[in-house]
Amino acid sequence: MAHNFDESMALADVYAEALLKAAAERDEEEAIAHEMAEFMRFIEQEIDLCRMLAADSVDDDPRRQSIERIFRGRMSDLLVNLLQVMNNRGRLSLVRKVGRCVELRMEEKHHQQEVVVETAMPLSDDQKSAIHQEMSARIGREAILIEQVKPELIGGVVIRYSDMQIDASVTSRIRRTYRRIRERATEEIHGGRGYAVEA
């Protein structure tokens, strides 16, 4: 699993581990992971449902009934049971983090690692392929590229993975150039160099 989890993510990971373990016992680990990913996309689109699942103002019993009515028979029993267990313990607000932990655990199982690639403009297919190949070789796992377009970078690329960052953006080069000029000017002022005194 990834490092630097906060307490809520650590708790969510406990639920993710339990879900995947139960699924593995039925030889359904891949199917459950896929279903959880679909469920995450569904609740992101259904804002009212997402609020109902997480709201402290909703009583557990009505919410339990709603979960049964909406999901039982439409999702696997394991996933519905997970929602009911989390509801009983007042932890349904963590459901999206559980989904994220399931995703990370499956990536680890498949020897994959997420690599965030920030560019000023969308990457071409050839650029994606080249970065994927280079980063996979660098990290010793299959790189899963997560593309983020940030026009403020002007050009170049910023790559983040684990606790590492590779910054080859134009903005970064401009900052470094400016810093070197500023440091050099400061040195020259303190040293009295670079100035001619007219008679």
Query: In the 8-state DSSP scheme, what is residue 78?
Result: H
Nearest alpha-carbon partner for 88 in 61, 52, 51: 61
Question: What's the confidence (pLDDT) of residue 157?
Answer: 87
Domain ends where: 89, 108, 127? 108
Question: What's the confidence (pLDDT) of residue 156?
Answer: 83
State the residue range of the domain holding 138. 112-190
Inter-helix orientation angle 7-25/95-109, to 10°? 60
In this structure, are residues 103 and 37 in contact, taking their beta carbons and an 8 Å threshold? yes
Across the beta sheet with 157-161, what order do the strands follow?
142-149, 112-119, 157-161, 164-167
Considering the domain architecture, whether residues 124 and 147 belong to the same structural domain is answered as: yes
> Which stretches of the chain score pLDDT less than 50?
1-4, 197-199
Question: What's the confidence (pLDDT) of residue 197?
Answer: 47
Question: What's the confidence (pLDDT) of residue 198?
Answer: 47
Pairing of strands 142-149, 112-119: parallel
Domain ends where: 91, 108, 125? 108
The total of structural domains in the chain comes to: 2
Q: Is residue 64 part of a domain?
A: yes
Question: What's the confidence (pLDDT) of residue 50?
Answer: 80
Domain ends where: 108, 128, 155? 108
Q: What CATH number does the domain containing 62 carry?
A: 1.10.520
Q: Is residue 125 part of a domain?
A: yes
For 85-112, letters b (16+ CB in 10 Å) and e give ebbeeebbebbbbbbbbbbbbbbeeeeb
Q: Is residue 198 part of a domain?
A: no
Q: Is residue 195 part of a domain?
A: no
Question: What's the confidence (pLDDT) of residue 19?
Answer: 97
